[in-house]
Amino acid sequence: MRYCSKCGSDQIDFKVPDNDTIKRYICSACDSIFYTNPNVIVGTICVKDDQVLLCKRNIEPRFGLWTLPAGFMENSETLQEGALRETKEETQASPTITSPYAAFSLTHISQVHLFYLADLGDESFGPTSESSEVELFYEKDIPWDQIAFPTVTKTLEYYFKDKKEGVYPFREEGLKLW
């Protein structure tokens, strides 16, 4: 941060404010404190019969690799609205969310990833500007060595394990993967 977004001053320090424990950007001119918070990534694991919906990324990062439909949550939307919007943007599908499924705190990159289980039903799907391919995969056909993100791999592994057991518990964990 180089300039204060409140007063325009360039007198910005990075220090621990009084009565706090974490370094923050502080404007010496107007005493404004600026907090930085993690980015929230929301998405779905869309299921139809024994298959899951994956999309091949047509954007960076990880261009050309497969992922679950997911992306950054926007201001003024709920977690579910964000997950459904991202699913629509990446796959053209509008599934029905059934339950929250997996949450990952990625403290090393200041992100939280939340995936919902969703029923694809008879929804149509297809590529978009963000996804060059969108396909349903049986577990045996998933291109495991071409999955874009570790949290997607973990979510898929959990899903297929849970599918065999017939129970889909919510999981929350912290990961340091990169």
Q: What is the pLDDT of residues 78-95, one digit of tens each?
A: 999 999 999 999 999 999
Token duo for residue 96? 């029905």
**Beta-bridge partner residues of 98:** none
What is the rounded average pLDDT for all residues in the chain?
A: 96
* DSSP H or E stretch at residue 50: none
Q: What is the mean pLDDT of residues 39-58?
A: 97
pLDDT at 176 over 90: no
* DSSP H or E stretch at residue 45: strand 39-48
**pLDDT (0 to 100) of residue 177:** 57
CATH 2.20.70.10 residue ranges for the chain: 1-36
CATH 3.90.79.10 residue ranges for the chain: 39-174
Region 1-36: CATH code: 2.20.70.10
How would DSSP label each residue in 7-28? T--S-EEEEPPTT-SS-EEEET
**pLDDT (0 to 100) of residue 175:** 77
Q: What is the mean pLDDT of residues 18-38?
A: 95
pTM over cut 0.75: yes
Q: How many CB atoms lie within 10 A of CB 132?
A: 14
**Do 52 and 144 contact (CB within 8 A), yes or no?**
no
Pairing label, strands 12-15, 24-27: antiparallel
Confidence of residue 62 (pLDDT cuts 50, 70, 90): very high
Distance separating alpha carbons of residues 161 and 105, to the nearest angstrom = 21
Q: What is the mean pLDDT of residues 72-80?
A: 98
Distances in whole angstroms, Cα of residue 155 to Cα of each of 77, 91, 145, 161: 23, 18, 15, 10
**Do 99 and 80 contact (CB within 8 A), yes or no?**
no
Token duo for residue 61? 């990062």
pLDDT at 178 over 60: no
Reference 172, options 120, 158, 126, 162; nearest CA is 158
* pLDDT greater at residue 29 or residue 1: 29
Region 39-174: CATH code: 3.90.79.10
Confidence of residue 138 (pLDDT cuts 50, 70, 90): very high
